[in-house]
Chain A
Amino acid sequence: MKILVCISKVPDTTTKISFTDNDTKFNEDKVQFIVNPYDEWYALVRGLELKEAQGGSVSILSVGGADYDPIIRKALAIGADDAIRINAEPKDAYYTASQIAAFAKDKGYDLILFGKETIDYNGAQVGGMVAELLDLPYVSIASKLEVSDGLARVERDVQAGKEVLEGKLPLVISCAKGMAEQRIPNMRGIMAARTKPLKVEEAAEVEALVGIEKYSLPPAKGDVKLIDPENAEELIDLLHNEAKVI
Chain B
Amino acid sequence: MSVLVYVNAPEGKIAKAAYEAVYYASKIAEKEGGDVHVVTYGSVSDDSLAELGQYGASKVMVCRELSEENDQKLTAIVAAAREKCGAKVIVFSFDPSGKVVAPRLSAKLKAGLVSGATSVPEIDGARFSIRTNVFSGKAFATYQVETEIKIISLMPNSLKPEKSDKKAEVESLSPSLPEAGLKVVERKRQSGDGIPLPEAELVVSAGRGLKGPENWGIVEELAEALGAATACSRPVSDIGWRPHHEHVGQTGIAIRPNLYIAAGISGAIQHLAGVNNSKTIVVINTDPEAPFFKAADYGIVGDAFEVLPKLTEAVKKFKASN
Residues of A in contact with B (beta carbons under 8 Å apart):
11, 13-14, 16-17, 19, 37-38, 92-94, 97, 116, 119-133, 136-141, 143, 153-168, 171, 177-178, 208-218, 221-222, 224-230, 232-233, 235-240, 243, 245-246
Number of interface residues of B (CB under 8 A): 100
Name the residue of chain B whose CB is nearest to the CB of A212: B141
Query: Which residue from B94, B97, B293, B297 sits with its C-beta under 8 Å from A243?
Result: B297
The reply to whether A125 and B144 contact each other, CB–CB distance below 8 Å, is no
The reply to whether B104 and A129 contact each other, CB–CB distance below 8 Å, is yes
Closest 4 CB pairs of A and B: A128-B103, A137-B181, A229-B302, A209-B112
Q: Which residues of B contact A166 (CB under 8 A)?
A: 182-183, 185
The reply to whether B190 and A160 contact each other, CB–CB distance below 8 Å, is yes
The reply to whether A159 and B97 contact each other, CB–CB distance below 8 Å, is yes
Residues of B in contact with A (beta carbons under 8 Å apart):
8, 10-11, 15, 69, 71-72, 75, 94-97, 99-108, 110-116, 129, 133-136, 138-147, 180-190, 196, 201-202, 226, 237, 244-245, 247, 250-252, 254, 258-259, 269-270, 273, 276-277, 279-283, 293-303, 306-307, 310-311, 313-315, 317-318, 322
The reply to whether A171 and B99 contact each other, CB–CB distance below 8 Å, is no
| A93-B113 contact in complex given A133-B107, A160-B11, C-beta closer than 8 Å | yes
Query: Which residue from A139, A154, A157, A245 sits with its C-beta under 8 Å from B202?
Result: A245
Q: Chain A's interface: helix, strand, loop or mixed, by majority?
A: mixed
Interface centre among B103, B297, B313 (most CB of A within 10 A): B103
The reply to whether B139 and A218 contact each other, CB–CB distance below 8 Å, is yes
| A224-B296 contact in complex given A129-B104, A165-B184, A243-B280, C-beta closer than 8 Å | yes
| A131-B185 contact in complex given A224-B298, A227-B299, A233-B317, C-beta closer than 8 Å | no
Distance in Å: Cβ of A155 to nearest Cβ of chain B: 8
Distance in Å: Cβ of A238 to nearest Cβ of chain B: 6
Distance in Å: Cβ of A159 to nearest Cβ of chain B: 5
| A141-B146 contact in complex given A159-B196, A221-B296, C-beta closer than 8 Å | no
Question: In the bound complex, what is the Cα–Cα distance between A124 and B71 (angstroms)?
Answer: 14
The reply to whether A226 and B300 contact each other, CB–CB distance below 8 Å, is yes
Q: Which residues of B contact A123 (CB under 8 A)?
A: 113, 115-116
Distance in Å: Cβ of A207 to nearest Cβ of chain B: 8
Question: In the bound complex, what is the Cα–Cα distance between A246 and B206 (angstroms)?
Answer: 19
